Amino acid sequence: MKRILATFLVLSSTTFYLLAIAPYPVRGLCIAAPPPNQVEEFADFIEKELAPSGLNLLILRVDWGYEYQSHPELRGNNPLTKTDVKKLVEVCRENNIRLMPQINLLGHQSWHSTPGKLLEVYPEFDETPDIKLPEPGKYEWPNPDGLYCKSYCPLHPDVHDVVFALVDEIMQAFEADAFHAGLDEVFYIGHEQCPRCYGHDKAELFAGEVTKIRDHLAKSGAELWMWGDRLIDGKTTGIGLWEGSYNNTHRAIDMIPKDVVICDWHYERPDPTAFLFASKGFQVLTCPWRNAENAVEQEQMMRLFIESATRDMKPRYLGMLQTVWGSTRNFMDSYNGTANPERMDKSADSFKALSKVWNQ
């Protein structure tokens, strides 16, 4: 009994020390929600690997992978149940990890040749109904239509009744106080094929959608989190059309509420745009992906921003959010060193490098 108590005190002291020395409050991971048959294993991974790393935020990309009751027609294949989610809620709560769900809103409503569940079931919500998805296996970029992912029309009178029902349901299941809406890589907005949106200022359309989502969440006291790429001028900065905007949505940065939390992702270079968002009044996190060297440099940059910031700016730098764009299975295997070498997820190495430095 004495040995158990001593071990507990040592671990408690160590955990306190790790969290106490971090110069920023958030140390996060954004990853796909596990399928039902991997929930137990992922919960164990959270407890044995993620929590000891100092992680205190976990964003799970759920999208259509939940057994929605409000709109069962929008369930994807093999969805998580409320019981599955409860297991993840409990393990996160026990380990002081904030758990947050994500559903991609506005953009990312298709992938290559496949429509997302929303446009599959409600094709009338499509911003670009005359742009057809290519045959399976035939998608290529670039293409004449500028098709990356489809968007829903933000001015369709019925779309928010549907998507907000899903948001409310997933927030309740996750017992969450914040929601990640995606909102990244929106190439189709204010399109000439849309009778409602065409002719509108694209920045105003984008800002209107962000504000509408934010206002809906605020009714229940919840925060909106989003990716920041559409708020960066990709042309003037030279950052490009993926990590920045080429269709003028960047001006929305001055139109959206300041309590929206920005997840500022940069994968090819450690661009210092967290300062842009903080200087505009937003709380911001820096988000690496699969380049461990960049992740470490981005983390050091976050420290420098905080160190050199004014009293007003300092609390806006929230910290780091590692992103993962492969499967939960492959991330866990890569992290544990058991993945097929040809399928190794480099974001696991990036997370290891990041979690090592955020505890220094």
Active-site residue set: 185
Burial of 242 (0-12, 13-18, 19+ CB in 10 A): middle
- State which amino acid sits at residue 146: G
* Assigned token pair, 245: 């905007």
Note whether 153 and 125 are within 8 A (CB). Answer: yes
C-alpha 195 chain-centroid distance? 30
Strand partners, 224: 179
The C-alpha atoms of residue 287 and residue 265 are separated, in whole angstroms, by 4
* Assigned token pair, 190: 């204010």
C-alpha distances in Å from residue 167, one per residue of 68, 162, 181, 221: 10, 9, 9, 14
C-alpha distances in Å from residue 331, one per residue of 30, 306, 341: 11, 30, 12
